[in-house]
Structure 1
Amino acid sequence: MKCLPLVLGLALVCGLQAATVPLTMDGLDLQKVAGSWHSVAMAASNISLLDSETAPLRVYVQELRPTPGDNLEIILRKWEHGRCVQKKVWAEKTELPAEFKISYLDENELIVLDTDYENYLFLCLENTDAPGQNLVCQCLTRTLKADDEVMEKFDRALQTLPVHVRLFDPTRVAGDRLHTPRPCSHPACGSPVGQP
């Protein structure tokens, strides 16, 4: 009977650990992820994080910029107060090559699930203080359209996560001004970086 509290405590600790995003990348070459990307699919444990133009984590990654210290600067666009705004998020390296510490809203961890560097990159943002409650993942591609094989890989990657996430495709939302052939090209936004 004395072991019961110990067993329950261990089960609770193991259960909490299982709620974090699993690392599947053995290594990540930051220089190879540098450049332009397009958010073509999103998924979240709580769909309200993505379901409207102004949802808190409905962001569109535009560019990844490695720094000399192996950190990562993420350039993204988000619809706020009736206009498209550009934001920069700083991702600080950790001991694990595909994991970064960030400070964006309540999220504090960015994990690269998988990439082939040339075509796609899958990443997740998570609040590790409340594992599984705020988990958002994105499929980034180098072109504006992901092929079926990439989308199938993204779906399989989502199935490995410890929490149920719902897929959200911003390219199929009518009136989505941010996700067009020219991201954030709505008149209120002006031209995105690198676009005429």
Structure 2
Amino acid sequence: MKCLLLALGLSLMCGNQATDIPQTMQDLDLQEVAGRWHSVAMVASDISLLDSESAPLRVYVEELRPTPEGNLEIILREGANHACVERNIVAQKTEDPAVFTVNYQGERKISVLDTDYAHYMFFCVGPPLPSAEHGMVCQYLARTQKVDEEVMEKFSRALQPLPGRVQIVQDPSGGQERCGF
């Protein structure tokens, strides 16, 4: 596992400097993504976005809930003032069924890269819009807290086109729910 994460980190460090998010899914069934999820791995184009429990985009997704309007409510936990805080954020639908916009530390775009609905989901959160800055974070979510090595490899391949110096932060909770202070 550690070797895979190191290899992914090294391969992503050699990427180009574009800020494009990798190819998203063509169709996304919101009803199928509904339910409990666990943050398994996080990747960022700038390590400061993830390097501490209170880092700006270090969040732990707990649940996804489709709304009647076609938006996606995201229930997450994040660290704030040495406490674990639960937040609900509504991601607004766009013309692309796998892309949403969210007002979280600026207006950002969330793109679902891949999911099999039953076991895993990969998504990326872009930098604040409009912006040319590098500030992308991607996560591998799983329905259980167990890391699947094959899915981790698939996550690695999905992120190969990511730009810049990318770091990997494996969820160090050992499979426990956390903000972890």
Aligned residue in 2 for 1:116: 116
Aligned residue in 1 for 2:34: 34
Alpha-carbon spacing, 1:182–1:50, altered in 2? closer, same or farther (3 Å):
same
Taking the aligned partners of 2:40 and 2:69, their CA distance within structure 1 comes to: 29
Taking the aligned partners of 2:33 and 2:124, their CA distance within structure 1 comes to: 15
Aligned length: 165
Runs of 4+ in 1 over 3 A off after TM superposition: 179-182
Aligned residue in 2 for 1:101: 101
Q: CA deviation at 1:131?
A: 3.9
Aligned residue in 2 for 1:21: 21
Aligned residue in 1 for 2:130: 129
Aligned residue in 1 for 2:177: 183
Give deviations 1:125-173, integer Å, cap 9, x for gaps. 01242245110000000000121001001111110224442211122xx
Taking the aligned partners of 2:60 and 2:133, their CA distance within structure 1 comes to: 22
Give ranges in structure 2 of 5+ residues lacking alignment: 1-15
Given that 1:25 and 1:113 are in contact with CA atoms closer than 8 Å, whether structure 2 keeps it comes out as: yes
Alpha-carbon spacing, 1:181–1:166, altered in 2? closer, same or farther (3 Å):
closer
| Residue aligned with 1:159, SS | coil
TM-score, with normalisation over the residues of structure 2?
0.84
Aligned residue in 1 for 2:73: 73
Identity %, equivalent residues: 53
Taking the aligned partners of 1:58 and 1:77, their CA distance within structure 2 comes to: 9
Taking the aligned partners of 2:42 and 2:62, their CA distance within structure 1 comes to: 14
Q: CA deviation at 1:23?
A: 3.0
- Amino acid aligned to 2:100: F
Aligned residue in 2 for 1:191: none
Give ranges in structure 1 of 5+ residues lacking alignment: 1-14, 172-178, 189-196
Given that 2:40 and 2:147 are in contact with CA atoms closer than 8 Å, whether structure 1 keeps it comes out as: yes
Taking the aligned partners of 1:52 and 1:68, their CA distance within structure 2 comes to: 36
Aligned-pair Cα RMSD in Å: 2.1
Aligned residue in 2 for 1:140: 141
Taking the aligned partners of 2:132 and 2:143, their CA distance within structure 1 comes to: 30
Given that 1:126 and 1:132 are in contact with CA atoms closer than 8 Å, whether structure 2 keeps it comes out as: no
- Which structure has the greater CA radius of gyration? 1
Q: CA deviation at 1:185?
A: 8.2
Taking the aligned partners of 1:23 and 1:131, their CA distance within structure 2 comes to: 19
Alpha-carbon spacing, 1:132–1:168, altered in 2? closer, same or farther (3 Å):
farther
- Amino acid aligned to 1:135: M
Given that 2:91 and 2:100 are in contact with CA atoms closer than 8 Å, whether structure 1 keeps it comes out as: yes
Higher relative contact order (CA 8 A, sep 6+): 2
Given that 1:45 and 1:132 are in contact with CA atoms closer than 8 Å, whether structure 2 keeps it comes out as: no
Which of 100-109 and 18-27 deviates more?
18-27
Q: CA deviation at 1:123?
A: 0.5
Which of 157-166 and 78-87 deviates more?
157-166
Taking the aligned partners of 1:103 and 1:61, their CA distance within structure 2 comes to: 16
Q: CA deviation at 1:180?
A: 5.1
- Amino acid aligned to 2:20: T
| Residue aligned with 1:168, SS | strand
- Amino acid aligned to 1:126: G
